[in-house]
Amino acid sequence: MSPAPRRRRSVIVVAGESNNDREVLQHLIPALYPRCPKVVTINDKIRLAPALLQLSPRIETLRDNARRRAESCGAELAGVVVHADLDKVSDQTYDQVRERITAQLKKALPCNSALALSAVEMESWLMLFPDAFPKVRRGWVMRPEDRRKDLTMLPNPKEHLRKHLGKPPYRESDSPKIMAEAVKLGQVIARPPGNNRSFRDFADQLAAWRK
């Protein structure tokens, strides 16, 4: 009796606006999705949030690039995660943007999909894990009052960290290291202490994926 054919491995493809954001998600996704297969990235700079009137062609390009990336790994495409900065605080616009992009992703992609729509920027997600900051730089401490804020209403999280975190000043290239340390500390869960709806929405989308 011949052995059953080996099942192809699968991958999750991450797309987004910058290398740093994509690398943050490479650390974050396995922590939120325990059965996560390998997470790989595509390097195209994809900006979906400002392009609601041109979503279809951009998402079709994303779909084709994700398929090619999975094929280059000799794997099946299990899921696509797309990062976008909302670039504004969370209000009714956030709901409109999230619903519109999410619907287009579900319509165009042949696999699970999730939208990492950070309000305002990815730094507001990092601030959910204050204990990770001093693991990256000894002098960094998040202020107690910042731990109690609705982080989706912080107008400029990146500049806020540069001003208040400590020395040396925060840089965007620090973000993957901070998320990696948060994962090591075991603090990355769907409902961490703190308040950031855009993070919770992303975690909920991953939790709803077909296994």
Q: What is the DSSP letter of 171?
A: -
**Residue 112 corresponds to which tokens in the numbers above?**
């699970």
Dihedral pair phi/psi, residue 170, rounded to 5°: -60, 140
Helix (H, G, I), strand (E, B), or coil: what is residue 140? coil
Helix (H, G, I), strand (E, B), or coil: what is residue 42? strand
At 43 the pLDDT is 85
**Binned average pLDDT, 10 residues per bin, the chain of 211 residues:** 58 93 96 91 75 76 94 95 89 88 93 94 97 97 94 95 96 98 97 95 93 60
Amino acid at 154: L
At 4 the pLDDT is 43
Measured over all CA atoms, what is the biggest interatomic distance in the chain, rounded to whole angstroms? 68
Q: Which of 42, 35, 44, 56 is nearest to 112 (CA)?
A: 35
At 25 the pLDDT is 97
CA 157/CA 122 separation, integer angstroms: 8
CA 179/CA 38 separation, integer angstroms: 18
CA 127/CA 112 separation, integer angstroms: 27
